[in-house]
Amino acid sequence: MKTIDLRSDTVTKPSSEMRQAIATAIVGDDVFGDDPTVIELEKHVAGLFGREASLFVPSGTMGNQICLKVLSEPGWELLCDRECHVVNYEAAGPVIHAGLLINLLTTERGMITAEMVRQNIRPINLHCPLTKLVTLENTHNRHGGTILPQQEVLKVREVCDEFDLIFHLDGARIWNAHAASGKSLEELTAPFDSVSVCLSKGLGAPAGSMILGGAEFIEKCRRARKLFGGGMRQVGILAAAGLYAVKNNITRLVDDHTNAKLLAEGLNALDTFSVDLSRVETNIVVANIVADLPAETIVTNLSEAGVPVVQFGPRKIRMVTHLDVTGADCKEALDRIGELFN
């Protein structure tokens, strides 16, 4: 039985074409600044986003953490959505690496509105921490791959300008927001001071993320990357995979979105699950369990049926479509799910 792995878009394996690019990459010592393939990737991705510079880092976590560290001082306060990756899945990084105080805000679909930012800025006096940073996540993982409303992002930027706040984007899946909305990568990310994006999610590279920003900021990030232990030597073999990914795997993301809708509609047709279809904007499907069954049981049964998914709460599971599952695979997954649950 073929496994149809819907746990995450991180499970993709490099294709033979990508492996070819890896095998033939010209490399050098990137800590010395000598790796031509890394240099090419950094130039190419900076260009895609209309930024001055970019930096290759081993993971999205390191990308976010370096940005927060470089842009802040210990004791500053960070405003972010309660469900965000930076706080929930990065091992308390903002506290440990940057010494930030975190204010978790409850949002609709991951969007911290301009009004919420305004309401949560503390008065400037000697008792209070300085509210200095805001982060957003686009698309938003725990909210189900939702795309942030760009008009509101621009309004938050205005509040950041008014109160001198730093605005960071966790854009691990910004590629999906771009493919689904038709807005350019540059337009989606221009309001932010710093941006981190992943090559190893929907784009299918085995590892790697990029930080984007101004040249001076990126040089500070390069130093922080060394501090974090992320300076790598002949890493052009990974950069080659990243280059292959950004050149070949962006436009096809719409297929993943079509497949996610197919899955969501199929699950909704069963009595066991209910999916808010309005949230299925990209490649993530969060299904609520409406039958009297714990998520653990469902996850175990599906795994045994060759359809691994992840638990997303006591009564929720998450499925993610990606490069290594086809529309036919998703139909097959639905058949297997339908045999177990109705």
Ligand X SMILES: *Cc1c(COP(=O)(O)O)cnc(C)c1O
Footprint of ligand X (CB under 6 A): 59-61, 64, 85, 137, 141, 170, 172, 198, 201
Closest residue to ligand X, Cβ-based? 60
The contacts of residue 231 (CB under 8 Å, 6+ apart) are: 30, 31, 225
**Element holding 103 (H helix, E strand):** strand 101-105
Q: Distance (Å, rounded) from C-alpha 290 to C-alpha 274?
A: 6
Identify which of residues 207 and 293 has a Cβ nearer to ligand X in the complex: 207
> CB 109 → ligand X: shortest distance, Å?
14
Cis peptide upstream of residue 139 (ω within 30 degrees of 0) = yes
The contacts of residue 55 (CB under 8 Å, 6+ apart) are: 42, 210, 211, 218, 221, 222, 225
The contacts of residue 76 (CB under 8 Å, 6+ apart) are: 98, 99, 100, 101, 129, 130, 131, 132, 133
> CB 201 → ligand X: shortest distance, Å?
6
> CB 88 → ligand X: shortest distance, Å?
9
> CB 208 → ligand X: shortest distance, Å?
9
Identify which of residues 170 and 329 has a Cβ nearer to ligand X in the complex: 170
Identify which of residues 210 and 325 has a Cβ nearer to ligand X in the complex: 210
Length of the chain: 342
> CB 195 → ligand X: shortest distance, Å?
12
Identify which of residues 121 and 246 has a Cβ nearer to ligand X in the complex: 246
Identify which of residues 12 and 61 has a Cβ nearer to ligand X in the complex: 61
At residue 9, φ and ψ (nearest 5 deg) are -80, 5
